[in-house]
Structure 1
């Protein structure tokens, strides 16, 4: 009877809980010195090559770096390899059942709504009278936006950037993709990663420019909702950028919800008028001006 029970592999449902179980099982196998992350990556990929077809899945290659990154990222972080998770789930149950089964039996059904420590910490600092983070506002913000702001080098031009609230299963994270021309006249791609902290009637976006290694912080307020979905349709506020080696600058910033991610670009006023239906309100808000030190 025990052997029959041991052969049962519960279905992988793709939930944050199941993803968290895989990651914790990998850490358990390593912490017990049964198998390092490097060895796990090698043997998991080898097992997948031999068994993937039996489960109507595709085999994959796996490096220590990719596996370690997956294991150590937040529970909401998945992977670009679609069949890795269900195959890793089965591999752990078949090869390292001691590590995964106790987690499957005991881990709470609901994973934490905010799987990172930064947002709850900043919330406690900014809103000491509010015991919990405003999850309702985070859920209303979740989705894709276009964020408008003056260009870094020419404030007369408007940068349209692709903003996403809710990243890798964490509703308190955001990302922004932007394109612009740098001081040397070169086309440049930049990414902002960060965290969303609701406080009082506003929301603080605490971000970081990845390539420039610079803080990218803005506060938004005024959150009208779409009549049908009741999702937040947009907001406006002020952006602070502190590039290394220069004094910080402040800009107006305005976001508008979109159905899918936009392609980042830079508009001059005329092309904005010709392309964007809401150009009047955008250009009017941009007249708040830029505060810069040179």
Structure 2
């Protein structure tokens, strides 16, 4: 290897070294430690004295698979993923196309206004939405009453609580995806859209055959990020419903929190975290395979 190549390699490692060190220190080592803890009975007694720590093998995983609440949390989480992901992606794409359209006036103001919910404090906005969705005094039910609809117990009904949280999550998170979609839409050559317009293609045809194929990699990226975020829902149900009513909004991450920090079964909580990682990894691989077959990547 020449001296120039050696210097180039040293420069590359010196620039990437701090980032790699941070990844190893704050991600890989904690992840490996969590995996090891999932095979132990690590609890509050082990926190006081590590001599109480015992290796239990796959007992934590066996208990989880036999726990009905774990399967309830998994079903709720999958429902959030299956319903919330398309809802947020479509909402984000619609907002990006709206802001990107030439006929919309004051587009910078619209971009800021639509992106603003994402940068607000999650807990604070969740508390505000609790008041907005209040059964008797909430603004949402007041607006429904103007159209003759009866009050809805948004956060106290097992059938309404999950859609209520989904609406809040969509409102809170679509702005980030909108910015990603907006960057992709602005990179689509205008000549393609103009050529399709001259050929007589309508808005729907241009969207299907020009816009969506051009932003397919971005669509895949946003879908993967949204799926990972939906799998990790915790703050929203914790603040708004505390997992209720009737455990209808308990997610896997909420279940992991209760196992680890409410009941101090830290080994079991680590096992839940590893199972959640496997679920996210499996769904992401399926998305990548489907995208590869569709030509998105």
User: Shorter-normalised TM-score: what interval?
Assistant: under 0.3
Return the TM-score normalized by structure 1.
0.21
Return the TM-score normalized by structure 2.
0.21
Which structure exhibits the higher relative contact order, with contacts defined as CA atoms closer than 8 Å and separated by 6 or more residues? 2
